[in-house]
Amino acid sequence: MLDFRKIELSDKEWINSLLKKSDFMGCEYSFANNFAWHRLYETKICRYKDFYISCSDKYGLRFTYPAGEGDRKELFITLRKYAEERNSPLLISSVLPENIALFEEYFPGEFTVSNDKADFDYIYLAENLRSLKGKKYHGKRNHLNRFYENNWMYKSLTDADFDDCIAFAAKSYNDNNSYDSESSVAEQFAINTFFNYYNELNLMGGVLRVDGKIAGFTIGSRINSDTMDTHIEKAESGINGAYTAIMNEFAKDASVGFTYINREEDMGIEGLRKSKRSYCPEFQIVKNVVAFK
């Protein structure tokens, strides 16, 4: 039986235990992200045997490829029945290329596969973002040098910084007149959730100041055995190099011991895509959507 409901903080232990079994590095396989961003797509979750399932029906019924272990054929049949009972085709997102073979084995000719590059996560070698060495990062080092001309400081995020960071994010939201942007409203909700449950979600963060005032902050967490995820990154666009500085300082501070850093998707926003590509990703996670006929 599938009993979908709103995600709660009390779900953290069992969800993390099932996420650990799959060890996926996509940003959607993070309890912190699922908890903070559920409002954007009105996501609901449930446990089915040893699988963790999240589902949104905001724009049609869609399941994220479940994490966990067990009989996946039986699981997909159960999900298909659930969808059919609601007069909806079964859509499963975040299907990795190597997992398409499972559907071909279990349901040959019964589905189609598509994807959208706007959904692909950008994955970087952590050492590259820590060091910014080599010709390909020459421009980034120039940005840092401009930033270093300021009276600046960086520190790991603590409770004492929360109010300043929340105010900084709110000012950015207001200055950009983001009230009518559904994603911006959801982001503000997520930011407040991250700060309200910072310790409970086992988050890491950093704050950047210039002349004592907030110039940027970032929040991330471990996503799997070798990858940390950057959930939120905000910086003062009027300060040359502030974005590069908060990224680099946080990488040096928090990513030691990790092989990769996931900086998430670009959502099809050209400026964001250009920025993420400029940091020279090692690869992107191809996320397919399997649609049953």
The predicted-structure confidence for 216-246, as pLDDT tens digits, reads as follows 999 999 999 999 999 999 999 999 999 999 9
Tally of residues, the chain: 293
Rounded-to-integer distance, Cα 173 and Cα 184, Å = 7
Average the pLDDT over 207-221 and give the result. 97
E strand or H helix at 203, and its extent?
none
pLDDT of residue 59: 80
DSSP-derived letter for residue 197 is: T
pLDDT of residue 23: 98
User: CA separation (Å) from 209 to 130, 153, 168?
Assistant: 19, 5, 11
Place of tokens 């085709």: 89
The predicted-structure confidence for 131-146, as pLDDT tens digits, reads as follows 999 999 999 999 999 9
pLDDT band at 174 (very low <50, low <70, confident <90, very high): confident
